[in-house]
Chain A
């Protein structure tokens, strides 16, 4: 197999640079590295991991060879057929956004989910629906790390313009509007104000939308209900419903509104599959399972990404093995990568500029969870987004390796 066929007219990084001109600067390294002394004391901690595994002896393995046997003269050809694995379960398919014909106003809808295999587990079965990417918009000024802020500084006061930029410039498949201003502890903006913001975004862009709340179970219920009514038929993804809402007796109201007006619910739980299942069971009382997506929590690289990685691997395997309560598409807020200080902090020069460290942090956060089965990402940095958009089709396209290209990597002068 050679790599001659299906060469794109331009290379991916040309696309990367063309789509995000500010990256040219970035990659050309014109940014000054800012220095700041940064150090941590080594504590004397006993945590987590054994640095070595178990000792083992060769006696443990059934020896194929015998000390006095004749050494082979020719290569012994060993037959090899890759194992064909199959799973009884399947992840539900969930449609986001609705076109005019479907009762909404989007230019197209998107389907996520549908997996019958763990992600990228079997080369003959790439993802049924390619994972998609949503870019964030906030409805009020928020504290963003410098490296994120500089890409969107011009539009931060105008959510509609911000949404447009996300779609037109950065290639967002979906836009998330975070209605932070509704938080009773911040501006306590009214549901009517939130509805107006969502209307503006619906006007500004024609991709499917995700509606983010403020995290207060009561206020979110009011806001989500009002938005669901206004955007009847748009198949918004409502981010999110929680067990807290069940406790504050607002879950039914939101779920009913989503059902009656044709939207999808994002069920958020904190790294706990029992809670995820419990929340889903409660939602099934109100809404068809095909209108439920899960957020199992994304933690930043360095701050617990391994918990997110493992909970997603466990959830996906359990679902494919037949646990229907977990057989929902999953989202990851890869933007959370920026919670890691290593992503945004000025560090000694040996660790490179944060202009590169930050985006690579978000990118690796996302890719790691892509391998664990994420169907939809919430992201922010253009370089991270472009890398994922280029990588996702490439990961689903086997048979493109050209062994000649790397056959002599050992002897290449770099």
Chain B
């Protein structure tokens, strides 16, 4: 079969890994929030779209290149997330998980529809970085390469922060056992705010990356949140590293399904994976909590 030639497989693999890096960045943030406060943030993909539309606006009004607007958008969304946690999520953290599900669902509805009111339902894109380059026989698209690499770098940076710094250690401590962490003198509320801010910033960065590779509209979030759920359930809920590998895996599987069957079916892969994993292990492959 011609399709099975090695360079085509390599092509799909590289494309899948690059796309997967973006998923990983998004899903790691979602998992960070879940790990630290047992809240499933249904508005996570909308936070990403805030970043994407931010890049779109900055590009169209100030002509700012998305890679530069990253330096504005990421801190801005960090601050928004930090206070968002304080004003809203903090109120539902201690309540049953369904309360926080519904609260973040409400936030996602609000964000989507404000987006629709401002930007309409047309697809937008930020057309910078076009074309591709060759590595041997391998065709690599410039925007995808850039987005994938930056996503990867950011995820690794956050991981290093969690592993190497005192503050990161505090985040992990709260994630492991909030009450004990509190007794040890960690300001759990502050850590939660920091965590949400960080996860929101990761989503915002993913949004900027999204803006240079895909076209998007305010309703694009549902596809991504679905993928994130598949990823965090495969990788284990609350497990940062698991979400990272889960993201890469989903990217690759989607690329192969898209390459051999059709891109429309690739969209359904995440859902099928999700349902399959839940069937085999109702608490996810490496779940931290039996919710």
User: Are A and B physically bound partners?
Assistant: no
By a beta-carbon cutoff of 8 Å, the part of chain A in contact with chain B is none
By a beta-carbon cutoff of 8 Å, the part of chain B in contact with chain A is none
